[in-house]
Amino acid sequence: MILVSLLAGCTGQKIALPTEPPQVAGPDIAVASPVVATTSSSADSLTRVSGQINSGKQGQASFKVAGHIAKTIAQVGEKVRRGQILAVLDDSDAQLRLRLAQNQMEQARITAEQARKDMEREVQLQKEGATTQTNLERMSNALASARINESQAQINLQQAQKNIADTKLLAAFDGVVARRLKVEGEYVGIGAAVYELASMNELEVSLRVPESLMKRVKTGHQITLSIPSVGRETAAKILRIVPVIQENSRTFEVIGRIQGTLPNEMVPGQFVEAQL
């Protein structure tokens, strides 16, 4: 070995250099190939995407009339059937209006009946020549007016009956109560949401797919979903492709419908993975 003294800063260092020249590759000398770092990524892992399960039918339940909530019946997480009562309003005012409409209807019916009898008597008098055409026309107009009033009273009565029915909030479809937005005693206006419902029979899956795979994904394709939280797999069919790229993730949305019998463990919001 040849020792060469080098000046490094203010101190001296001795560096050992080889005395023999480096070997040159020849026919009998093997040269090591460079090592390339590899990963476990494969074609399958590149097409694995994630998403979540959503309810294919969901919506808010609201009253068609305004009032104070007398009672909330359905509880969060409870399964409900179409037409089941979820909550009721205080209907004391509606009951008063119903009785008023019933009285008005009865009065209009009596008036119309009396006008009909008067008209029949006037017609008979005309046949006997004991009345005038003017009186007959007056009775005819009175009967027509009484019948209009009776018809209007019938409409008012039907509206009052409907208002009574509308104080009961009914489920629009089979599902589960996802949220309760109002409480007993609270005043709600027409159309104000009281509950949020989600169907458990029409589940969909929403997947975020990389932009690079847009040409590979087609509607109608069958895919296999994995649900890690319950260790289950199920099939889905691609229904819709949303052709909008999300800027921050460079992904687009693919929506599929869960096929076959739905596992009981599947619920909206659940994390899923899929191979495309």
- What string of pLDDT tens digits covers the 276 residues of the chain? 433 333 344 444 444 444 455 454 444 444 433 333 333 344 444 578 999 999 888 899 999 999 999 999 999 999 999 999 999 999 999 999 999 999 999 999 999 999 999 999 999 998 888 889 999 999 999 999 999 999 999 999 999 999 999 999 999 999 999 999 999 999 999 999 999 999 887 889 999 999 999 888 999 999 989 989 888 888 899 999 999 999 999 999 999 998 876 666 788 889 999 988
Which pLDDT score is estimated for 28?
45
Which pLDDT score is estimated for 150?
97
**Exposed, middle or buried, 89 (CB in 10 Å: 0-12/13-18/19+)?**
buried
User: What is the dotted CATH code of the domain comprising 46-56+202-275?
Assistant: 2.40.30.170
Alpha carbon 258 to chain centroid distance?
Answer: 16
Task: Name the pTM for this structure.
Answer: 0.67
Could you say which of 3.40.50.2300, 3.30.70.360, 3.40.50.300, 2.40.50.100 is the CATH number of the domain covering 58-90+167-198?
Answer: 2.40.50.100
CA 263 vs CA 204, 258, 260, 272, 275: distances in Å:
13, 10, 9, 13, 19
Which pLDDT score is estimated for 262?
63
Element (H, E) at 118: helix 92-127
- What strands lie across the sheet with 58-62, from one edge to the other? 58-62, 193-198, 175-180, 79-80
Q: Do residues 225 and 273 make contact, with C-beta atoms less than 8 angstroms apart? A: yes
